[in-house]
Structure 1
Amino acid sequence: MSRDFLLELGTEELPPTALKNLLAALANGVKAGLDEAGLAYSNINSYASPRRLALVVGQLAEATPVRQVTNWGPPAQVAFAADGKPTRAAEAFAKKNGLEIDQLKTENDGKADKLVAHQQAGGEPAVELLAGIVNDSLAKLPIPKRMRWGAKRTEFVRPAHWLVMLYGSDVIDAQVLGLNAGRESRGHRFHHNQAVSINSAADYVTTMLNAYVQVDMAARRALIIEQVNREAAAIDGTAVISEELLDEVTALVEWPVALTGRFEERFLEVPAEALISSMAEHQKYFHVVDHDGQLKPYFITVANIESKDPAQVIDGNERVIRPRLSDAAFFFETDKKHSLESQRQRLGSIVFQAKLGSILDKTDRIAALAASIASDIGADATKAKRAGELSKVDLVTEMVLEFDKMQGIAGYYYALNDGEDPEVANALKEQYLPKYAGDELPHTVTGTLIALADRLDTIVGIFGIGQKPTGSKDPFALRRASLGALRLMVEKDINLDLRELLTRAARNHGDSIKDAENAVEESLAYMLDRFRAWYEEDQIATEVYLAVAAKKLSHPVDINTRVLAVDAFAQLPEAQALAAANKRVSNILSKLDSAPATEVKPELLKEPAEQQLAEAVADKAQRVEPLFTERRYADALAELATLRAAVDTFFDDVMVMADDEALKNNRLALLAQLRGLFLQVADISALAPTKG
């Protein structure tokens, strides 16, 4: 027999940004508890609103499964004395298994006669286990800081006020967070501010809908999208719905009603990003754009009430947003009165890192490094230097102090206002790209150079003062910075030596870095190891990257080209055999006391198989040489793949370690030449499977 189980924990308003994770963690915790107890069920549906966390477990078994358990005790000769009386060992075994002495039995376990107890285990009623499972799950929720309320010692993310636990239509006798379970929930705070009786677990969603609470987060989310889009269409616009804001709004309302408000058009003179930031962060409004993607003087709010006079609700929201936008306009106009150049020295009072100087020092280093890279690639070093110098000045502006997400964006607008070169202005906005994995890259060359120089300066500086990331601690986000720098170099085809760039960056730090050479090598190794995560994302096997990493190269563009070539080679039918052959050759050569000869003597090629391989190797060496020069590694490996037949025949027919010293050395020279061809791209022996 089975019935649905309902859990609803009613609270004061839960943190909206945490609601989704709290619900997922609760569902996972209850699932783990049911699985551990052996309680069967069909599915678990999760529900949440600002004032509740809920689960419905479908077709939950009434009890854990019953099973036969055999408990073996001490040997019979230990359990009973010579006169047949039970010893303390027998008494202890009987007590442990809930038996009387005269109920003890002995059986042979295949080795000796022992005390044995055959008992049934399981069969515990689900209703007796659920309170423990729920309490344990709640205790494990990811809550950074728990709170107490009233005179209770109970702790939770917010005060808990009611508890519903039903098995089918029956109330479970349980206590959770100091609350006794019942069947009474609460309706919408305004539309149905009263107790709501839940008849059965199966009726939960429908009953709460009748009380103006949409407990299904997915359904509530879809309803918000539909309403917001409808409101935007009514004003001939398109609502911009970010996933982050949508999740937060969904967690803020129980009965969503979208309404459109308006703000004064004069505010459109303020950078759109500032207006959008203010509307989204402070008021949780969705902004609206026209057919050209330009911001319209409207916003869409999602109320938690179906008002009889929506005009009043709209008016209230318009009154709230007006001073926010006025602040943004004021900050913008105030900041424009002072050029970025005139405020640059203020960066000297902001510490970047105690041992690495101020933000002003950092901009000097960024400018120098970006200009030197620009010279290397034929870009405009003057623009790169200027952008580097101005890159962080907007940190001291009123706009960024109020709206931190305007960092870089504010600099762009102020640079244009100051008459700076448009590419310099764009670089100030693009310097933080990419912000995360998969994010867009800068569109301008100068923006790319500033973004790269900034990251390299931070990485080598932090390594230089001995604060490299350890485990989960990465306070300066060096992992993200490293991946960003690699993406910039590879995807923007900045074909330079990363070791050399890090060396320049370290040199710019001066005496702040005591052992510059070590800082460069540690930084380089750390950055190149981030390639692993990159290629894993692209479904490229780790062995492929390791085959290239064995070359110990430091040009990211070249490394990437080789990895893609080796990955393509690994898909060929000849790849595994040639990888195994390379591994065999590597093992043979590694055991030699000295390196084999570089030249193969044709007169010492006695066997047809070695003659054939020598001819093939010489032919391929000529064919692939121009391919290597042009870095057409994929074409080169495809050409070398045709060596498989000759290699297989050689190892089948030829004894490499011949008794004749001259023959042996000549064959080793041939194998070294064979391996050398592949090594010009990568050590493909890394592709060979390891024997377990």
Structure 2
Amino acid sequence: MSQHDFLVEIGTEELPPTALKSLRDAFQKGIETFLQAKGLSFANSEAFAAPRRLAVRLTGLSAQGESSKSEKFGPYVNVAIGDDGKPTKAAEGFARSNGVNFEELDRITDEKGERLYFATEVPGAKAVDELPNAIRDSLNKLPIPKRMRWGASRTEFVRPVHWVLTLLDNKSIEADILGVKTNYFTRGHRFHANKEITITSPSAYEATLKEQGKVLANYDERKEMIRQQVLAEAEKLGGQAVIDEDLLDEVASLNEWPTALSGNFDKEFLQVPAEALVSSMKEHQKYFHVLDKDGKLMPNFITICNIESKDPQQVIEGNERVIRPRLADAKFFWDTDLKTPLDSRFEKLDSVRWVQQLGSLKDKSERLMVLASKIATAIGGDAEKAERAAKLCKTDLLSEMVLEFSDLQGLAGRYYAQHDGEDPDVCAAMEEQYMPAFAGDALPQTQTGLALALADRLDSLVGLFGIGQIPTGGKDPFALRRASLGVLRLIVENNLKLDLNELIDWAMDNNWPCDLDADNKSKLIDYMLDRFSAWYQDENIPSVVFQAVRAKGITQPYDINQRVMAVHAFSQLESAEALAAANKRVSNILSKNDAFMDNAKVDNNLLSDAAEKALAESLDKQMQSATPLFEKGEYAQYLTQLTELRQSIDTFFDEVMVMADDEAVKQNRLSLLNQLRNLFLNVADISLL
């Protein structure tokens, strides 16, 4: 069957830069999915994206999909043919529905008898017919939160559409896409080559655009080109460029023909914390910053412009003029904030509402002072430092710097606390309270910051659950999932022997401005522990392993994690499957006889069979040797030790009838199984494996 190359390009006004990559990927995926559903195969698929275009190219596209057989089953013969031997209305209706005469119908026999049957071969879909539909379907499904209309048209898209290129080999497929007639041309760079450019074949697409249109259509190629240009400019300055990947993505989405240029700013601005200057350059101007060999910010920036200027110095000077007032604002905010110590801002927190039913930021800070102090004591930290850090932790939210640059919250507080002469741990805690901010983020390095980070998240979780603000489905306006994961990471990765049950009691037993729903405590604990599921999924640990530990009802995250790791290691052992099955069998026997006992005692005088004596002896031996391992928290070694029971367990079930006629013997054997179950159950419910 013949194969083709295909290209589609949607030409628009400038697309949203932060959404360009996702639009590119979704457009490609949508076309692929549609064609595959139609049975149209292709050898390769490529996606292109630039500020004014989205494109997809397919190679080795089949001209037509495989044909299929359509089968239709009609009424049974006893209903289809009357006593007079003529077809009934049911039979004639079945024939009409298939567009044939009754005589053309076949018959087939199934388990109920003989019935009318009609089969036809349905030709496969043709690529030339389905490609416009694939484009429309994919465009309709793009992840666009809000579509717009332009002119008098009722067509809606993320931005106005000016041209649509479709090429099947060297011919354009005629269609109407988003109100635009398809054609064989694209358009070049808005300034360098603002003209129609003919694309002769899909394979010539990016080369033609590059040579005639001054457009780099390949997003990844353009991104890498920008990276190399930025690094080269920094090297000319004698420094090293700091390339933030999100900024690089955004810049690559803003430029079709990128050119890197470097500029300067006044050294006096270096008196301002580097993070404020970087934030201003990055967020407002999309500049890359440069560090010297000592890792200090240099008075330079690197910008990416979308033209190849004949006089680049004018472009540089224009950027320097633009950045100066931005940095001057940052310096003004910094100088102004230094005049007011953080401590003097505390009372003003009372004017800032945190959550309507939960009081002001001052109320929250006062609760944190109590809670952070308790946690600091529990983890061996300094309670006074934790209390001081909690008092000051939200005061930087009232600073001019944070009001302008919200991403500097905490970091600005650290600088202001240092200027005020606060203790170094208190200063660090100003920033560390927000750690971890995202998956994989660093954790606090001080005990004071750790106590405050835990207290802040626990206060939010307890308060919001207490007033019924419980996340549902995809709605989590207060980021409680992230807060819960943060608490788990802070406890587990710092090896803290803290119990969620106790921590939540501490947080609830505080000066709340409203009555909290105490019934939500168990919901909160369950909700927090459920976050472990995603955690272990990321580590490729089967969910059943966590569920085996969860069945124990433990609320200490560090202990839970230790058990999960031990059970996961145990599950990899050769004996694990057999021992898990044996535990399940034991649980079933005990359950049917309502014979679960925590302190089961076995009467050795009632042991008669060699197999049950051997099991009892093995259990005694393991209790002596394995129990000390369990008490020291060495769960992995404990479970490994118990694998020595496998042989005696297997022999017991092969040779011993648990449900003996003698009631005393039966109960004694159930007690033996209870001892076996409890020995494994110390760590987790192995039967769930």
Give yes or no for contact 1:76–1:106 (8 Å, CA) kept in 2.
Answer: no
**Corresponding residue for residue 200 of structure 1:** 201
1:363 CA displacement: 1.0
Amino acid at match of 1:147: M
Taking the TM superposition and a 5 Å limit, the aligned residue runs for 1:614-633 are 614-633=616-635
Within 5 Å, give how 1:77-226 maps onto structure 2: 93=94, 96-99=97-100, 101=101, 105-110=104-109, 118-210=119-211, 211-226=213-228
2:321 — aligned with what?
Answer: 319
Q: Deviations over 1:13-62 (max 9, x none)?
A: 00000000011111111111111111221111100100001111112222
CA contact (8 A) 2:436 2:486 kept: yes
Deviations 1:55-96 (A, max 9, x none): 111122223333443445556787788889887666655654
Query: Could you tell me how far 1:270 is from its partner in structure 2?
Result: 0.8
* Inter-CA distance 630–124: structure 2 relative to 1 (3 Å threshold): closer
CA distance in 1, matches of 2:588, 2:629: 28
- 1:551 CA drift (Å): 1.2
User: Which whole-Å CA distance do the structure 2 matches of 1:243 and 1:356 have between them?
Assistant: 38
Deviation at 1:302, TM superposition (A): 1.0
Deviations 1:159-185 (A, max 9, x none): 000111111111111010000001121
- CA drift of 1:291 comes to 2.3
Tell me how far apart the structure 2 counterparts of residues 278 and 378 of structure 1 sit (CA, whole Å): 40
- Counting only pairs closer than 5 Å after superposition, residues 543-562 of structure 1 correspond to structure 2 as 543-562=544-563
- 2:302 counterpart of 1:300: yes
- Match of residue 502 from structure 1: 504
The one-letter amino acid of 1:414's match is Y
Corresponding position of 1:228: 230
- Whether the aligned pair in 2 keeps the contact of 1:506 and 1:513 (CA below 8 Å) is no
Within 2, Cα distance between the matches of 1:461 and 1:209?
Answer: 57
The answer (yes or no) to whether the contact 1:430–1:448 under 8 Å persists in 2 is yes
Give, in angstroms, the shift of residue 118 of structure 1: 4.9
Residue type at the aligned position of 2:286: K
Q: 1:432 aligns with which of 431, 434, 441?
A: 434
Counterpart-to-counterpart distance in 2, 1:588 and 1:82? 63
- Deviation string, structure 1 residues 493-534 (Cα, Å, up to 9, x no partner): 221221011011011153623432x23222111111111111
Compared CA separation, residues 162 and 675, structure 1 to 2 (3 A): same
The answer as to whether partners of 2:265 and 2:320 remain within 8 angstroms in 1 is yes
Residue identity opposite 2:175 in structure 1: A
- Preserved contact between residue 457 and residue 505 of structure 1 (Cα < 8 Å): yes
State the TM-score, normalized to the length of structure 1. 0.95
Contact 2:257 2:307 in 1 (8 A): yes
Distance 1:674 1:87 in 2: 72
Matched residues in 1 for 2:79 and 2:243: separation? 76
- Report the equivalent of 1:690: none
Q: Deviations over 1:255-284 (max 9, x none)?
A: 111111111111111111111111111111
How far apart are the structure 1 equivalents of 2:470 and 2:415?
A: 35
Rounded to whole Å, the distance in 2 between the matches of 1:67 and 1:556 is 56
State the match for 1:446 in structure 2.
448
SS of 1:172's partner is: coil
Q: Distance in 1 between matches of 2:17 and 2:451?
A: 39
Q: Deviations over 1:163-221 (max 9, x none)?
A: 11111111111010000001121001111111111112221111111111110001111
- C-alpha change, 1:113 and 1:673, in structure 2 (3 Å) is closer
TM-score, length-normalised on structure 2?
0.95
Post-superposition CA distance 1:514-570 (Å, at most 9, x none): 432x23222111111111111111111212111211111111111111111111221
Q: Structure 1 pair 568/90, CA: closer, same or farther in 2 (3 Å)?
A: closer
The 8 Å contact of residues 104 and 116 in structure 1, kept in 2 or not, is answered as no
1:96-152 Cα deviation digits (max 9, x unpaired)? 4455x5x85132122677666554422543222221221111111111100000110
Contact 2:342 2:417 survives alignment (8 Å): yes
Aligned equivalent of 1:340: 342
- Do structure 1's residue 520 and structure 2's residue 527 form an aligned pair? no
2:566 is matched with 565
Q: Is the 8 A contact 2:39 2:125 kept in 1?
A: no
Match of 2:404 in 1: 402
Q: Is the 8 A contact 2:79 2:90 kept in 1?
A: yes
**Correspondence 1:263-278 to 2 at 5 A:** 263-278=265-280
Equivalence for 1:458:
460
RMSD: 2.0
Q: Distance in 1 between matches of 2:78 and 2:668?
A: 76
Counterpart of 1:255?
257
Shift of 1:492: 1.1
Residue 239 of structure 1 corresponds to which residue in structure 2? 241
Aligned to 2:580: 579
Whole-angstrom CA distance in 2 between matches of 1:612 and 1:196? 87
2:200, 2:482 → 1: CA distance? 52
Q: 1:92 to 1:10 in 2, by over 3 A?
A: farther
1:434-457 C-alpha deviation (Å, 9 max, x unpaired): 111111111111111111101111
Cα separation, partners in 2 of 1:630 and 1:122, compared to 1, 3 Å: same
Tell me by how many angstroms 1:7 deviates: 0.4
Distance verdict in 2 for CA 1:165–1:620, change over 3 Å: same
State how far apart, in whole Å, the 1-side matches of 2:611 and 2:77 are: 74
Closer/same/farther in 2, CA of residues 319 and 125 from structure 1, 3 Å limit: same
The question of whether the paired residues in 2 share the 8 Å contact of 1:14 and 1:157 is answered with yes
Question: Residue 228 of structure 1 aligns to which amino acid in structure 2?
Answer: V
What SS does the aligned partner of 1:288 have?
Answer: strand
Match of 2:105, as an amino acid? T
Matched positions, count: 684
Taking the aligned partners of 1:303 and 1:427, their CA distance within structure 2 comes to 40
Which secondary structure state, in structure 2, belongs to the residue aligned with residue 613 of structure 1? helix
Asked whether the equivalents of residues 95 and 105 of structure 2 are also in contact (C-alpha less than 8 Å), the reply is no
Decide whether the 8 Å contact of 1:173 with 1:181 is kept in 2.
yes
One-letter amino acid of the structure 2 residue matched with residue 27 of structure 1: Q
User: Is the Cα contact below 8 Å between 1:107 and 1:113 reproduced in 2?
Assistant: no
State the secondary structure of the residue aligned to 1:375.
helix
**Using the alignment, how far apart are the partners of 2:651 and 2:382 within structure 1?**
57
Return the letter of the residue paired with 1:395: L
Is the Cα–Cα contact under 8 Å of residues 259 and 302 in structure 1 kept in the other structure?
Answer: yes
Read off the aligned partner of 2:253 and give its amino acid letter.
A
Give the conservation status (yes or no) of the 8 Å contact 2:38–2:125. no
For 2:613 and 2:81, locate their aligned partners in 1 and report how far apart those are by CA, in whole Å: 84
| Alpha-carbon distance change, 262 to 627 in structure 1, aligned in 2, over 3 angstroms | same
**Which AA in structure 2 matches 1:179?**
V
Cα distance per residue 1:401-437 (max 9 Å; x no partner): 1111001111011111111111101101111111111
Inter-partner Cα distance in structure 2 for 1:280 and 1:203: 36
Three-state SS of the structure 2 residue aligned to 1:53 is: strand
Query: Residue 164 of structure 1 aligns to a residue in which SS?
Result: strand
**Distance (whole Å) between structure 1 residues aligned to residue 390 and residue 45 of structure 2:** 54
Q: Could you tell me which residue of structure 1 aligns to residue 376 of structure 2? A: 374
SS at match of 1:508: coil
CA contact (8 A) 2:28 2:47 kept: yes
**Partner AA of 1:591 in structure 2:** K
Please identify, of 292-301 and 204-213, the stretch whose mean Cα deviation from structure 2 is larger: 292-301
1: CA distance, partners of 2:63 / 2:469: 56
Distance 2:97 2:627 in 1: 80
Structure 2 CA distance for partners of 1:589 and 1:85, relative to 1, 3 Å: closer
Corresponding position of 1:488: 490
Tell me what 1:537 maps to: 538
Equivalences for residues 40-51 of structure 1 within 5 A: 40-51=41-52
User: Which amino acid letter does the alignment assign opposite residue 670 of structure 2?
Assistant: L
**Does the aligned pair in 1 maintain the 2:463–2:516 contact within 8 Å?**
no
